[in-house]
Structure 1
């Protein structure tokens, strides 16, 4: 074996040991061939490209040594295992949904034909036209209803309070027309035509 020592250890010849050599291990490694990784900051201690830093107090390991993961801006947590949620304090309007993409938040408008904008807060022209038409139709319906009710009330006031019947003249005219139609003599039925046939006797 050309290099029996592991993990970048240095091999020294030593005739006093059975193997004939000894390994000078890097800091954090132990064992006859430096095969045991005792480091607090291992390659997999911090995830998602986080950098492990040994410190005095944060997260205590079994041997009392502590570490801190310096995470990239996209992740958080003790081991950088949690993805940063930028939508925590973002409120999308009009039923929009917030999404975190490439360290930036964005409101996804579920009805883009009606709303758009950073927070889905802006109405489209189509929605404005629709609302205007709805208000116009509602206004026309209200005016028609008010006029109808006013007409009925005015007619009742004239008839029962002031004893004025605005349609009395029309009723009388129709009644006279019916009486006149009844009083006309019925045409006499015409007598049937009689055909006279002469018969000659020889």
Structure 2
């Protein structure tokens, strides 16, 4: 049901550039998948897809390291790119006026019997979304929640207070056993992160 391809490249914003490894998630079945965050390397992602039909390429947010292989991948597999329109300004930094399909809060994307519900979780970016798949007990959090705490909020278009509100209201309300599959690094679980909310609040101020 869940596959992962790790790709490497750079993240650039506010005049800085950093080397990063990204998790690209493939969710679905033996015949069709949703790609979450087409990062850096369309060839590696196509290899991971392995001939399956791609129902959609979903961007958890518009930072370049999460979308920079999306257009190439979309052209090769014939799938739409979905992004929350609040990240338009970030999208334009990479793709200018190239169109994408707007993703809305509560929208359901299905592949191979798995339903992913988009949860708008702004903070790391204005249009950040997480994708909740209750049938398989998982949530794909992009850069909103990691093992060890919230995503970074020290750069343009981000807000610590907003990301904490998103995590508290949209993620920590999910069942404790829900696996948290992140945009970078190791997976975790809601129950492992929820007890540390007060620590994050102290750390962030």
Q: TM-score, normalised by structure 1?
A: 0.15
Q: TM-score, normalised by structure 2?
A: 0.15
More strand by share: 2
Q: Which has the higher contact order (CA 8 A, sep 6+)?
A: 2
- State which structure, 1 or 2, has the greater radius of gyration over its C-alpha atoms: 1
